[in-house]
Each structure stands twice: as C-alpha cells, then as structure tokens.
Amino acid sequence: MLVVAALGGNALLKRGEPLTAGNQRANVQIAARSLAAIVRAGHDLVVTHGNGPQVGLLALQGAAYKADEAYPLDVLGAETEGMIGYIIEQELENALNHDRPVATLLTQVVVDQHDPAFAKPTKFVGPVYTQEEAETRAEAAGWHIARDGDKWRRVVPSPKPLEIPDMRVIGLLLEQGVVVICAGGGGIPVLRRDDGGMVGVEAVIDKDAASALLARQLEADALLLLTDVDAIYRDFGTDKAAAIETLTVEQARSLDLPAGSMGPKLSAAADFAATGGISGIGRLEDALAILDGKAGTCVLG
C-alpha cells in the first residue's frame, strides 16, 4: 500500500514551545517512530510536513535587512523544506536502522496567479503575538494579521495547489524503494509563465491541500493527516462532544469546522477520498492504527 502521511505542526513544534532546533528535533524523533512503524508494516511511504512557524521566523530574520535584501516567501519556503526535511530524513533513517533509503526533495507546486487568495491572505505564519504587538509589527512591516485562538499572527496568501511538476522524480524514487519527504510546507509556490517556464510567487500553500493533490497524482492508497487530536469530533468543545469514527465524503463536506483548525484537514481528506482512496485523520502516535482503521476518523468515498 502506498501511504502519504502529512505531519501537522505538532510533529515539529508543540503550541507554545520555543522555536529551537533542539525542540524540533525532539518532536521529530517521536514522529519518526510512528512513520517507521508504517514502513515496517510493509507499506511504501511519502511524507509531507508543515512549515508555518519556520517560514515566519525566517521572514522575521529577513526583516533585519534592507527591504530589497529580504528573501521572498517562495525562497523561504525552499529553505524550510531543506531544513525540516533534513531533520525528518535523519531521524527517520535512524528509526529505520538505515534499512530503507530516505530522501528529501524540494518540491515546486504550481498555483494560479489569478487565485482570489492573493487578495485575501488567510495562512498563518510565524510566531504568535498579543494584539497590540501584532498591530505594531503589521503597521511597520505592511503585514496582514488575524486572530489565532487567543493570540494574533501574520497571515499571507494561500492559493490552491494545481500541479506538482516534480511528480516524475517522486515516482522514480518510489520505484527504487525510497521513502520520500516532499511538498514540505505545501511545496514551493510557483507560477507558469507564458513561455512554459516557472517563477516563484509570494505565498504559502496549505500543506493539507498540497498533500491531497500529491496523494491523488501518485494514485496513493491512503492519505493520513496526522495532528495532536485523536479524531474529528461532533459538537467539539461541548458536553456532547463525541469522536467520529467514519464519514462519507458527503458527510465530511457538510461538517462546518473552523478554517484555522480541522477545516483544511477534513476538506483535504474528502477531496482525496472522493477519488477512491482512504483518508484518515488523527494523532501522530496512532498513525499505523489509523491506517488499520482502529483509531482516528476515516473518510471513505
């Protein structure tokens, strides 16, 4: 079975933790053990991951330079793919006792320059702030900001992923038995020029949407969207809250979940399941159990 596993932000950094290399590596070590269990069970594996805090931190560091010296978001996305991919690759190799080759691929993802998302930034990046601090930084740097829970963060455009030009390379690696880490942070957002060439664009693609597109184009058997919550809940946050074991695509699309939490995951799960695959949402530690239908929420076409 070919499995695409999308690591949520908690796989790298738990909410409120300082964004240090040590904290990220400690969290990835836990993630690597769960991912290794999927491989040891006999499955082929492709891993994707988020990058919101990391790309936001790099953007903050870039703000220390002159405006024309700061790197754009597509370049920062490429930097985080390499940085995070390196840590996941190394820890996954260690967890597998170096029995399977693991490779990280910088992955371009084509978006539409006319996507309405460019006019309405919604994707959270970077650290959290108080409202006052966020407003001060936004005024100084020309940011868009939005509430994230009880804090505030910078938001950037998040256009819909349309195409993954690097699919042939990913396929070649899988044919050789390689565990592939790719489309990190949703991939590097690029536009197709009229001459067929590509050029980067200022945006951050939603990791779950890109993972669903990747799983569809690979004709994967399963898409796992792994986070720090054990399942999708009906009436979440109330006394009537109950975990949902199984959803049809239609049921999944009818649930109204917050865009800043489980909404994108459930949408991605439904999109992939609609093509005939199995989607699972749940805790990172339960990855293999979710795949076996023993944990999490399963979305079926």
Cα(266)–Cα(253) distance, integer angstroms: 8
Cα(67)–Cα(92) distance, integer angstroms: 38
Cα(4)–Cα(90) distance, integer angstroms: 19
Report residue 129 CA to chain centroid gap.
Answer: 22
Residues tagged active-site: 9-10, 123, 207, 265
Contact 4, 258 (CB under 8 A): no
Q: Which residue has the tokens 């865009």?
A: 259
The H-or-E segment that residue 52 falls in is helix 52-62
- Of 27, 23, 33, 36, which is closest to residue 8 (Cα–Cα)? 27
Rg of the chain over Cα atoms, rounded to whole angstroms, equals 18
- Of 30, 18, 27, 7, which is closest to residue 54 (Cα–Cα)? 18
Contact 213, 269 (CB under 8 A): no
Cα(261)–Cα(253) distance, integer angstroms: 15
Which amino acid appears at position 158 of this protein?
S
Cα(257)–Cα(269) distance, integer angstroms: 13
Contact 299, 269 (CB under 8 A): yes
Cα(20)–Cα(191) distance, integer angstroms: 32
